[in-house]
């Protein structure tokens, strides 16, 4: 009985306190934003101040950045030191991959929504990451999605340019180690929306031949058949892909398929002399060019009464009697 009474009292107390909570939140929302001063050196000076301990200082600054970012609720702070933290870390340790990825998202969630400037800054951090890690498929994929879905641009030309960049990045990502098997179909869809159907077909065909994932190949074949509007052509490509798989396994199964494409089929161990026979000379000697005197000869005059059957020769007098 006492337990029931206590529970009922707690419930009533919670209901009664709810309006006071709402009033407190409203009043807190009117408070001015407070940004505590954070001592940080200029990013270019950070490596000098690290005194040779750059990676250690990068780790310490990274911890400080996480505490700084997590100490304020979204919308309560301007995060004016956020990019300074990020730039310090990247100057200290440019190979700190995790920071690039975190920066690309953290700079767009400072106020609960992303502005054009923040999205541009996010893309810039991803561009820096791709230069530092040119074989990282995930970074190229993230950058491609950023350009396609969020970089609208201020004009139709800029928007199309951003979408072209997105398609290029995703196509680059799908060729890198560790790429997701579904990325080629996404790239083909983007190219199709850009009106570049032939390029989408070409890249799909390449990925169908080189992929080892059967489920991904089936999805790509479905997309390929839709783009070429022919099931027969898709079936022919499947047969070609299976034949290529067999040729690859018979020759260099220990190496990637792209390596087999570069090398081609294994040469025959036997020399076929019939293939070496030729109907033309193996060695051709051409005469040296002869220099001719291009000086025009002096005009020749025939004696009176001697003429060519067709008339006076060049240089003769056309008024002579015939």
User: What pLDDT score was predicted for residue 239?
Assistant: 61
**Contacts for 223 with CB less than 8 Å, ≥ 6 apart:** 185, 188, 189, 204
The helix/strand/coil state of 18 is helix
Query: Residues near 294 by Cβ (< 8 Å), separated by ≥ 6?
Result: none
Rounded mean pLDDT, 146-163: 90
Categorize the per-residue pLDDT at 205 as very low, low, confident or very high, splitting at 50, 70 and 90.
confident
pLDDT digits (tens, 9 = 90+) for 68-104: 888 876 556 778 899 999 999 999 999 999 999 999 9
Q: What is the pLDDT of residues 9-55, one digit of tens each?
A: 666 656 565 665 666 656 655 555 556 778 899 999 999 999 889 99
Residue 263 has pLDDT above 50, yes or no: yes
> Any residues with CB less than 8 A from the CB of 186 and at least 6 apart, and which?
170
Q: Which residues of 282-292 are buried (b: 16+ CB within 10 A; e: fewer)?
A: eeeeeeeeeee
- At residue 260, the 3 state secondary structure works out as helix
CB 166 within 8 A of CB 148: yes
**What are the residue ranges spanned by the domains of the chain?**
34-119, 134-178, 181-263
Residue 170: closest CA among 128, 141, 204: 141
Lowest mean pLDDT among 59-73, 135-149, 239-253, 304-318: 304-318
Hey, how many other C-beta atoms are within 10 angstroms of the C-beta on 53? 12
C-alpha distances (whole Å) from 1 to each of 5, 11, 14 are 6, 16, 20
CA distance 164 to 79: 32
Q: What is the mean pLDDT of the chain?
A: 76
Residues found in the chain: 322
């Amino acid at each position: 009985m006492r337990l029931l009474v206590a529970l009922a009292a707690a419930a009533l107390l919670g209901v009664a306190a709810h309006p006071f909570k709402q009033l407190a939140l409203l009043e807190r929302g009117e408070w001015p934003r407070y940004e505590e001063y954070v001592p940080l050196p200029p990013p270019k000076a950070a490596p000098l101040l690290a005194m040779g301990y750059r990676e250690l200082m990068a780790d310490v600054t990274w911890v400080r950045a996480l505490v700084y970012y997590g100490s304020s609720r979204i919308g309560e702070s301007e995060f004016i030191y956020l990019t300074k933290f990020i730039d310090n870390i990247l100057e200290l340790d440019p190979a700190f991959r995790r920071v690039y990825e975190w920066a690309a998202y953290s700079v767009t969630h400072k106020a609960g929504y992303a502005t054009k400037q923040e999205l541009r800054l996010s893309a810039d951090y991803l561009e820096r990451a791709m230069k530092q890690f040119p074989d990282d498929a995930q970074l190229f994929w993230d950058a491609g999605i950023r350009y396609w879905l969020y970089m609208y641009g201020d004009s139709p030309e800029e928007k199309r340019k951003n979408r072209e960049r997105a398609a290029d990045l995703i196509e680059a990502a799908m060729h890198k180690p560790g790429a997701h098997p579904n990325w080629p179909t996404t790239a083909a869809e983007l190219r199709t929306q850009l009106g570049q159907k032939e390029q989408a077909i070409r890249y799909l065909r390449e990925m169908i031949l080189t992929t080892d994932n059967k489920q991904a190949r089936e999805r790509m074949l479905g997309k390929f058949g839709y783009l070429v509007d022919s099931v027969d052509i898709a079936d022919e490509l499947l047969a070609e892909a299976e034949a290529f798989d067999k040729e690859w396994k018979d020759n260099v199964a220990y190496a990637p398929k792209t390596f087999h494409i570069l090398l081609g089929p294994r040469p025959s161990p036997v020399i076929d002399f019939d293939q070496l026979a030729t109907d033309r000379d193996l060695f051709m000697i051409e005469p040296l060019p002869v220099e001719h005197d291009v000086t025009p000869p002096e005009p020749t005059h025939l004696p009176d009464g001697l003429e060519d059957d067709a008339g006076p020769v060049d240089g003769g007098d056309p008024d002579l009697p015939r």
